[in-house]
Structure 1
Amino acid sequence: MPVAVIDGQALHYLDQGSGPVVLLGSSYLWSLDMWAPQIEALSQQYRVIVPELWGHGDSGPLPSQTHSLDDLARQGLALLDHLDIPRVNLAGLSVGGMWGARLALLAPERVNSLVLMDTYLGAEPEATRQYYFSLFKMIEEAGAIPEPLLDVIAPIFFRPGIDRESALYRNFRESLQTFPRERLLDSIVPLGRAIFSREDILSQLPQLDSDTTLVMCGEQDTPRAPAESEEMADLIGCSVILIPHAGHISSRENPEFVNEALLTFLANHA
Structure 2
Amino acid sequence: MPFVVIDDQPLHYLDQGHGPAVLLGSSYLWDGNMWAPQIEALSQQYRVIVPELWGHGESGQLPTSVQSLDDLARQALALLDHLDIAHINLVGLSVGGMWAARLALQVPERINSLVLMDTYLGAEPEAARQYYFSLLKMIEDAGAIPESLLDVIAPIFFRPCIDRESALYQDFRQALQNFSKERLLQSIVPLGRLIFSRTNILDQLPHLDANTTLVMCGEHDKPRPPAEAREMADLIGCSLKLIPDAGHISCRENPDFVNEALLTFLVNHA
Give the alignment's TM-score, normalised by structure 2: 1.00
C-alpha distance in 2 between matches for 1:86 and 1:112: 10
Deviation at 1:124, TM superposition (A): 0.1
Query: Which residue is equivalent to 2:172?
Result: 172
How many angstroms apart in 1 are the aligned matches of 2:242 and 2:217? 5
Matched, 1:217 2:208: no
Note if 1:207 corresponds to 2:186: no
1:167-192 Cα distance to aligned partner (Å, 9 max, x none): 00000000001110011000000000
> Aligned to 1:15, what secondary structure does the other structure show?
strand
Amino acid at match of 1:136: L
The equivalent of 1:119 in structure 2 is 119
Which residues of 2 match residues 52-71 of structure 1 at below 5 A?
52-71=52-71
Where do 1:180-259 residues align within 5 Å?
180-259=180-259
Runs of 4+ deviating beyond 3 Å: none
- What's the CA shift string for 1:132-158, capped at 9, x where partnerless? 000010001000000000000000000
Q: Check if 1:110 corresponds to 2:110.
A: yes
Match of 1:269, SS state, is: coil
Gaps spanning 5+ residues in structure 1: where?
A: none
- Provide the aligned C-alpha RMSD in A: 0.3
2:163 aligned residue: 163
User: What is aligned with 1:49?
Assistant: 49
- SS of 2:153 mapped into structure 1: helix
Structure 1 residue 67: deviation in Å?
Answer: 1.1
Q: 1:51-102 CA distances to partner (integer Å, 9 max, x unpaired)?
A: 0000000000000110110000000100001111001000000000000000
Q: Percent identity?
A: 80
Query: Which stretches in structure 2 are left out of the alignment for 5+ residues?
Result: none
User: SS at the partner of 1:115?
Assistant: strand
* Residue equivalent to 1:133: 133
What is the distance in 2 between the residues matched to 1:82 and 1:195? 25
**1:244, 1:117 → 2: CA distance?**
13
Give the Cα separation in 2 of the matches to 1:176 and 1:123: 25
State the distance in 2 between where 1:238 and 1:182 align.
42
How does the TM-score come out when normalised to structure 1?
A: 1.00
SS, match of residue 186 in structure 1:
helix
- Residues of 2 paired with 1:109 and 1:76: CA distance? 15
The one-letter code of the counterpart of 2:139 is I
